[in-house]
Structure 1
Amino acid sequence: MKTKLQAARAARGWSQADLMDALEDAAVRLGIQLPSRSSLKAQVSMFENGRRPPGSDYQTLFCEAYQATRVELGLSLDAAPSQLDTLPSLPAPRAASMQASPEVIGYLKAVFMEHVQAEPVVGPRFLVPAVQSQMPLIEQVCKGARGPLRDEAVRVGARYSELLGWLHQDSGDSQSAMLWTNRALDYASELEDPALSAYVFQRRSNIAAEAGQAGYAVGLANAALRQARGLPQDVRAVALRARAYADALLGQSDESTRALDEARVLADQGPVGEGLAPYCSVAYIDMEAAACALHLGQPEQAVATLEASLTEWPAEQQRDRGLCLARLATAYAQLEDVEGAYNAASQAAAIAEATGSARILGELLRLQPFLAPWRKLVEIAELNRLLGSMKGS
């Protein structure tokens, strides 16, 4: 027999993931801090199956998510104070009363840096909800900011929006990725900051290229490079990388090679860890050069570049290492090196599972046709089963 909580979800046609999205949105509105997504899933299952009664905080969230009363949801009116254990609930602030201040902006900057440091390791699965939850506060701060604080608030809005766009892109949601990246460009336009605008334009180029819109991607990369000589080295390097990738998709080998050569020189000169693109190392440019080589039908060049790049790959850039391995697997497969392809793909698949990176999974799925002649081998069949389960999850 269904509990009333199960019936409420079924009546709305929601999956458990839909319910968790609604609970997380409600938590943002009400100022209640939730546990991790995996912990929340376990809690929801227990509540719906009647194995544990929801505490007062969860009752509040269920009522908000379903827009229903406690009685309608079959919830106890004398619930314990909280089932969120060590996670304290916070009083919901009045959105209209939130004012910009150095303290609030300092807090947002500090949290942003934590997100940036965590992102290459944990990937988008756990960070999208965390970054998304900051956006209502940022919007209110920008709305009320005046005087010298406005530029700081708007810059924070641009950086968070761009990061959220990237996280959606890595999750495989190009529509949301472009939406938030366009929002970042709106913020950057107010600041009249050429470097920030150029950086966001090249991010838009990346999204368009991965969505198969190569001609549009070239135009966006050119927009990023409109004032190339006045740009910081890291921004100019990633913008050149964006144009090189779009050129490769269009089969323009010479133009792609020239852009990559210039990007590599700039990456070698600029210190990693500063600026808008601290990830832009020579190893990063080499990985992207290999991706271009694959699109241009040059697997030998891709293998040489990726093998050398992996020896220098920073440990903290785990997600990009997975993408590098996935591309290496494709290059090996094109050269009929089945063992090399399997070994690289297995490592990449483990990183894709851990981080939730749709970009790594997408690269691995593109690998499968190249391994089709060997699909009956035990190792390849096992790899295909794993990729199939990851695609369906």
Structure 2
Amino acid sequence: MDLPFVSSREATQGLPPAQEFGVELARLRVLKGWSVRGLAERTAISEGHICNLQSGRRNPTAAVAAACDAALGADGALEALAGKARQGRSTGIDADLLISGYTRIFDDLRALGRTAGPSTVAAPMRSVAGLLADAAPRVGRVRRQEVWLIAARYAEYLGWMAQEAERPADALRWTDVAVRWAALGGDDSMAAYALVRRASIAQHRGDRSGVVDYARRAAGHPAATPRILVHAARREAQGHAVLGDYDLYRRALDRVRVHRAETAAGPEGPRWGPSIENGTPRVIEASCLVDLRRFGQAAGIFAVELQRAPATSADANSRARFAVRYATAQAGTGDHEGACRTVAEALPVIESVDSATVRAELRRFLGAADRTPAASRQHGVLNAVRAAAYRAA
């Protein structure tokens, strides 16, 4: 797999010498998929010392740099940066530049998480989150809040990755951490988004009324931004659809459209949670119609909308989920061969994305497809779907 990480020059450009070494050390470690502990075990350097190096609080000695360079296969690059760091003797933390480096790493890890799943990115993200939380109290007051906010972004995404790995307790724990860190960064809107996360977890647990309750609480939170209101309205619409209440579902769906327009008209605000662009209101409508068992309407919308939106790696998880919902709608209309064809086309992406959300959709599809007379003719496809649906997280 080609990893979408930025180059060494892009990641460290403009950093003081000690931080240049630290960010490059973290970048190379992340490329290997190693945690701080993993690097410590391979270099005989303590985890605490590696964290100090990555944050720029300590300058690397020649021996430490050589050990890291050899373990990471840096071909002398880390040793050269270490020489610059020792000459510069810069041990202070420049939070602004630290944020710049770790924001780039966050964007790369998030992109990788969308295409390769939580197991690939969880360990390096935990390491960087801890590093930033450790560094935040030590930086100057002017930039301290920004350090906490980037740390909160890591924690929030770790919550999502835990949810996708079917670890709801870890998902809630990381989400609560993100709320605390965001508050230290002067942002209360993460507290509103945390209620959306709880609604999502309630849905996966089968707590139908809990979905609606948490979504409404998120929408009523005083710090909720238009973007968070979109997430809340989506989740509420899905909750009402599962409960079979068509009128309340339609009202919630109307709010999705209203709040999407508000996000376009107003300031950006914090981007907690997934992109609201992963699923148009029409696709969300079709998804809810499957829950309402209006399969013909749902299949008609999916057929148009999924063809209209170009496939990109950035929304692989969402697109796969909606494709399986489309297949479930097709099966509900009696088009079993079309349903198996749709899900078979999505299987390569599904098998590469380790997603509890998609696995749940696959199990739902199987529940519909296995009961049909045509199931025996699609034996190979259904077996492949079954293997993907029930594989270990």
Instruction: Give the alignment's TM-score, normalised by structure 2.
Output: 0.71
| CA displacement, residues 56-106 of structure 1 (integer Å, 9 cap, x when unaligned) | 987557x99xxxxxxxxxxxxxx9x946544789799xxxx9856222122
Structure 1 runs of 4+ with >4 Å offset: 34-37, 56-61, 81-84, 86-92, 97-100, 272-275, 374-379
CA 1:141/1:338 → structure 2, altered by over 3 Å: closer, same or farther? Answer: same
- Greater share of residues in helix: 2
Alignment counterpart, residue 178 of structure 1, candidates 172, 184, 187: 172
CA 1:313/1:207 → structure 2, altered by over 3 Å: closer, same or farther? Answer: farther
Aligned to 1:351: 349
Query: How far apart are the structure 2 equivalents of 1:89 and 1:387?
Result: 45
Aligned to 2:362: 364
Query: How far apart are the structure 2 equivalents of 1:356 and 1:305?
Result: 27
Aligned to 2:325: 327
Cα contact 1:174–1:211 (8 A) shared by 2: no
Alignment counterpart, residue 294 of structure 2, candidates 295, 298, 323: 298
The alignment-based identity, stated in percent, is 25
Could you tell me how far 1:182 is from its partner in structure 2? Answer: 1.7
Counting only pairs closer than 5 Å after superposition, residues 309-324 of structure 1 correspond to structure 2 as: 309-316=305-312, 317-324=315-322
Cα contact 2:114–2:316 (8 A) shared by 1: yes
Could you tell me how far 1:191 is from its partner in structure 2? Answer: 4.5
Aligned to 2:387: 389
Query: How far apart are the structure 1 equivalents of 2:376 and 2:78?
Result: 53
SS in 2 for 1:172: coil
Alignment counterpart, residue 282 of structure 2, candidates 264, 281, 286: 286
Query: How far apart are the structure 1 equivalents of 2:75 and 2:353?
Result: 24
CA 1:144/1:209 → structure 2, altered by over 3 Å: closer, same or farther? Answer: farther
Could you tell me how far 1:192 is from its partner in structure 2? Answer: 5.2
Query: How far apart are the structure 1 equivalents of 2:280 and 2:326?
Result: 14
Q: Which amino acid aligns with 2:342?
A: A
CA 1:127/1:169 → structure 2, altered by over 3 Å: closer, same or farther? Answer: same
Query: How far apart are the structure 2 equivalents of 1:280 and 1:154?
Result: 24
Query: How far apart are the structure 2 equivalents of 1:249 and 1:186?
Result: 32
Q: Which amino acid aligns with 2:252?
A: A
1:107 aligns with 2:122: no
Query: How far apart are the structure 2 equivalents of 1:125 and 1:87?
Result: 28
Query: How far apart are the structure 1 equivalents of 2:357 and 2:77?
Result: 35
Query: How far apart are the structure 1 equivalents of 2:355 and 2:307?
Result: 22
Cα contact 1:58–1:83 (8 A) shared by 2: no
* Number of equivalenced pairs: 327
Cα contact 2:209–2:239 (8 A) shared by 1: yes
Query: Higher mean Cα deviation, 271-280 or 346-355?
Result: 271-280
Cα contact 1:34–1:84 (8 A) shared by 2: no
Cα contact 2:43–2:71 (8 A) shared by 1: no
Aligned to 2:212: 218
Query: How far apart are the structure 1 equivalents of 2:338 and 2:75?
Result: 46
Cα contact 1:99–1:145 (8 A) shared by 2: yes
Cα contact 2:113–2:120 (8 A) shared by 1: no
Query: How far apart are the structure 2 equivalents of 1:280 and 1:263?
Result: 10
Aligned to 2:246: 253
Aligned to 2:14: none
SS in 2 for 1:392: coil
Alignment counterpart, residue 337 of structure 1, candidates 335, 338, 360: 335
CA 1:359/1:338 → structure 2, altered by over 3 Å: closer, same or farther? Answer: same
| CA displacement, residues 23-46 of structure 1 (integer Å, 9 cap, x when unaligned) | xxxxxxx97837656xx9xxxxxx
Cα contact 1:268–1:281 (8 A) shared by 2: no
Cα contact 1:100–1:142 (8 A) shared by 2: no
RMSD: 3.6
Counting only pairs closer than 5 Å after superposition, residues 199-214 of structure 1 correspond to structure 2 as: 199-214=193-208
Query: How far apart are the structure 2 equivalents of 1:165 and 1:129?
Result: 13
Could you tell me how far 1:363 is from its partner in structure 2? Answer: 0.7
Q: Which amino acid aligns with 2:29?
A: Q
CA 1:127/1:274 → structure 2, altered by over 3 Å: closer, same or farther? Answer: farther
Question: What runs of 5+ residues in structure 1 fail to find an aligned partner?
Answer: 1-29, 41-55, 65-78
SS in 2 for 1:240: helix
Cα contact 2:147–2:185 (8 A) shared by 1: no
Aligned to 1:129: 123
Counting only pairs closer than 5 Å after superposition, residues 145-160 of structure 1 correspond to structure 2 as: 145-160=139-154
Query: How far apart are the structure 2 equivalents of 1:385 and 1:217?
Result: 32
